[in-house]
């Protein structure tokens, strides 16, 4: 193995979990075939592959448009040709963990919009819920089909320096990126012919089929051919490519707000042969733009009266409105508690230790240790409006503190997590770059299904920890291997998982005296050197 020039030059980042580079300075078993394959290719060949990938993205129009001085510039979402590989065991664990978490989150949504037992039992404080801008009173006591709120989720998962999986964010509103999961795979098939079957990579192509089946089941009218539409904000939206891809793959109509009209609490679309009733709407328009009569009155993207039709049960909306209360970052803190409360189970996937700045003691602690912290807005996304303590100037920190003090409830702090790294092809060699993972879970009447794979986002800048596409991130194809793969390594991987379960940090328990919380936050970092790596 060691004869590979690419591998010999590879310098793993110290103290960071490397998906390819094993502890004994060798290639991990599940990466071997890929490294062997690319070792047979010259840097020229790989450059050509990289070129080919770019050309394929461009000619297929897998681009987003950045509007600058009145002129549209086509950009592709940067793609790294080396796949990120996940073993069958790792996947089984992640899959189970996501299913557990999503089940609890969905129960939480039902509870919070109906009886609110979890508030009454003092598990989640009432002010956290009511101060959340995504908590919608319009959803109160509304019966949604099959009690499913989060039909589509994209939970972001990261790995710490010892390989432990953590949940970074729950994306339960309108998560995007799934088209890149599908397109990256198509392009990898072209780049590395025959390699996928040799490695036993599981297919992701089922995604649109499962989603369509789930949407079909939600139709309020019991007819053989209900009308399902995908509601897009339009061609200027940066995810427009994804909307068309999904509509095409499912064979459903792609509509904009102006194509729909509500009459007598029913939604219709305007066609060349008159109005046609719509039964299920997979919307990629945010809650606040969905209905100008109920939410933002200036919205041109939504449909006036659509919430009325929804409340009457004449149309199904996917995801349900109001799911944002469950992926609010202040509510995130309570998810492990929810899992225990609703399911009576121990959470499999851990939360990243999170401090709420609405809490005075925790705030004081964060301000003291701000260099080791990442501070985020509770309802922000896309990597906007966050502060990376270790990479900010004094002035930026002071300004940000003032911002926090205006409304502390809107901020949380997390220790700087050392994301795991994977090899990327950069200027003729392999270099480690930080990655995360977003698997897409589909919740239908038959249960939760997750296609084996997801979107691996990668921070392409050297040393960067931010993977968001808006902040210079790119993506990789994500391979989940079938169970028959890598026999020799299986035991070892299992061992790792074991230790990870045992070693996990204790989660902040609710109802403990406040004074202890600061100490708790400290105790989240058990060892000195660990602290250096994790935080």
Partner 1 sequence: MLSRVAASFYWLSRYIERSDGMLRMLKINYASSQDTVQEFTWEPVIRIFAGQDEEEETGKIENNSRAVLKYMVTGKSNSNSILNIITLARENARGVQEHIPKDLWQCLNEYYHTVKEPRLEKALQREDPIGVLDVLIKQVMLYYGTAEITMERGEGRSFMNIGKYLERAIQSVDILDAKFGSIDDNPNLLTDTSYWKHLLLSLGGYELYLKTYREGFESTNILEQVMLNEDFPRSVIYSVNNIQRYFERLKNDSNLDDYREMSFQIGRLQSRIKYSSVKSIELEGLHLFLTQIRKELYGIGNSLNEHYFANS
Q: Which residues bind partner 1 (CB under 8 A)?
A: 58-61, 71-72, 74, 234-235, 240, 244-245, 247-248, 253-256, 258-259, 269-274
Residue 215 beta carbon to partner 1: minimum distance, rounded to whole angstroms: 15
Residue 248 beta carbon to partner 1: minimum distance, rounded to whole angstroms: 4
Q: Which is nearer to partner 1, 59 or 68 (CB)?
A: 59
Cα 167 to its chain centre, rounded Å, is: 9
Residue 230 beta carbon to partner 1: minimum distance, rounded to whole angstroms: 9
Residue 258 beta carbon to partner 1: minimum distance, rounded to whole angstroms: 7
Q: Which is nearer to partner 1, 72 or 428 (CB)?
A: 72
Residue 228 beta carbon to partner 1: minimum distance, rounded to whole angstroms: 13
Ramachandran bin of 73, using left for φ above 0, alpha for ψ from -120 to 50, beta for the remaining angles: beta
| Omega cis (within 30) before 319 | yes
Q: Which is nearer to partner 1, 76 or 497 (CB)?
A: 76
Q: Which is nearer to partner 1, 270 or 498 (CB)?
A: 270
Alpha-carbon distance of 179 to 182, in angstroms, equals 5
Residue 450 beta carbon to partner 1: minimum distance, rounded to whole angstroms: 25
Q: Are the beta carbons of 268 and 307 closer than 8 angstroms?
A: no
**Mapped to the 3 state alphabet, what secondary structure does 461-486 carry?**
CCCCCCCCHHHCEEEEEEEEECCCCC
Strands 373-377, 411-415: pairing kind: antiparallel
* 152-154: strand order across its sheet: 152-154, 440-444, 447-450
Residue 343 beta carbon to partner 1: minimum distance, rounded to whole angstroms: 39
Q: Which is nearer to partner 1, 57 or 149 (CB)?
A: 57
Which residue pairs from 365-373 have beta carbons closer than 8 angstroms and sit at least 24 positions apart in sequence?
A: 365/518, 365/521, 366/413, 367/401, 370/397, 370/401, 372/415, 372/416, 372/535, 373/413, 373/414, 373/415, 373/416
Q: Which is nearer to partner 1, 254 or 290 (CB)?
A: 254
Buried b / exposed e over 149-172, threshold 16 CB at 10 Å, is: bbbbbbbbbbbbbbbbbbbbbbbb
Q: Which is nearer to partner 1, 14 or 69 (CB)?
A: 69
């Amino acid at each position: 193995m060691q004869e590979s020039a690419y591998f010999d030059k590879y310098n793993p980042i110290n103290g960071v979990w490397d998906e390819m580079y094993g502890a004994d300075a060798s290639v991990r078993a599940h990466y071997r075939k890929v490294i062997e394959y690319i070792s047979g290719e010259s840097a020229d060949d790989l450059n050509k592959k990289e070129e080919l990938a770019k050309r394929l993205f461009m000619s297929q129009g897998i681009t987003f448009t950045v509007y600058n001085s009145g002129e549209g510039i086509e950009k592709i979402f940067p793609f790294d040709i080396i796949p990120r590989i996940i073993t069958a065991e790792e996947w089984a664990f992640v899959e189970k963990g996501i299913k557990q978490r999503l089940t609890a989150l969905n129960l939480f949504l039902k509870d919070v919009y109906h009886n609110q037992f979890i508030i009454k039992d003092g598990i989640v404080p009432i002010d956290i819920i009511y101060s959340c801008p995504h908590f919608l009173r319009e959803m109160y006591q509304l019966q949604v089909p099959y009690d499913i709120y989060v039909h589509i989720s994209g939970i972001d998962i990261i790995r710490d320096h010892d390989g432990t999986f953590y949940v970074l964010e729950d994306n339960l509103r309108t998560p995007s990126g799934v088209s890149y999961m599908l397109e990256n795979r198509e392009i990898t098939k072209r780049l590395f012919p025959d390699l996928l079957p040799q490695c036993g990579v599981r297919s992701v192509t089922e995604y649109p089929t499962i989603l369509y089946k789930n949407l079909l089941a939600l139709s309020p009218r019991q007819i053989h051919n209900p009308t399902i539409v995908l509601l897009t904000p339009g061609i200027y939206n940066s995810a427009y490519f994804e909307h068309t891809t999904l509509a095409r793959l499912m064979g459903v109509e792609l509509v904009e707000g102006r194509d729909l009209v509500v009459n007598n609490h029913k939604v219709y679309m305007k066609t060349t042969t008159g109005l046609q009733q719509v039964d299920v709407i997979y919307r990629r328009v945010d809650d606040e733009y969905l209905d100008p009569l109920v939410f933002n009155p200036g919205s041109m993207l939504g449909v006036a009266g659509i919430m009325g039709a929804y409340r009457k049960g004449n149309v199904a909306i996917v995801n349900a409105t109001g799911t944002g209360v469950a992926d609010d970052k202040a509510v995130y803190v309570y998810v492990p508690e929810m899992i225990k409360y609703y399911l009576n189970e121990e959470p499999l996937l851990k939360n990243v230790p999170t401090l709420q700045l609405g809490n005075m003691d925790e705030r004081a602690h964060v301000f003291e240790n701000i260099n080791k912290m990442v501070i985020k807005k509770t309802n922000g996304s896309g990597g906007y409006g966050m502060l990376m303590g270790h990479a900010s100037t004094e002035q930026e920190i002071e300004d940000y503190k003032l911002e926090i003090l205006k409304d502390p409830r809107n901020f949380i702090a997390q220790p700087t997590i050392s994301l795991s790294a994977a090899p990327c092809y950069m200027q003729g060699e392999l270099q480690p770059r930080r990655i995360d993972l977003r698997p897409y879970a589909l919740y239908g009447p038959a249960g939760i299904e997750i296609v084996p794979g997801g979107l691996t986002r990668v921070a392409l800048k050297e040393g960067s920890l931010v993977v968001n596409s808006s902040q210079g991130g790119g993506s990789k194809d994500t391979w989940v291997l079938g169970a028959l793969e890598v026999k020799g390594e299986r035991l070892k991987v299992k061992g790792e998982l074991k230790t990870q379960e045992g070693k996990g940090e204790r989660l902040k328990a609710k109802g403990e005296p406040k004074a202890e919380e600061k100490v708790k936050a400290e105790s989240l970092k058990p060892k000195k050197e660990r602290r250096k790596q994790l935080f």
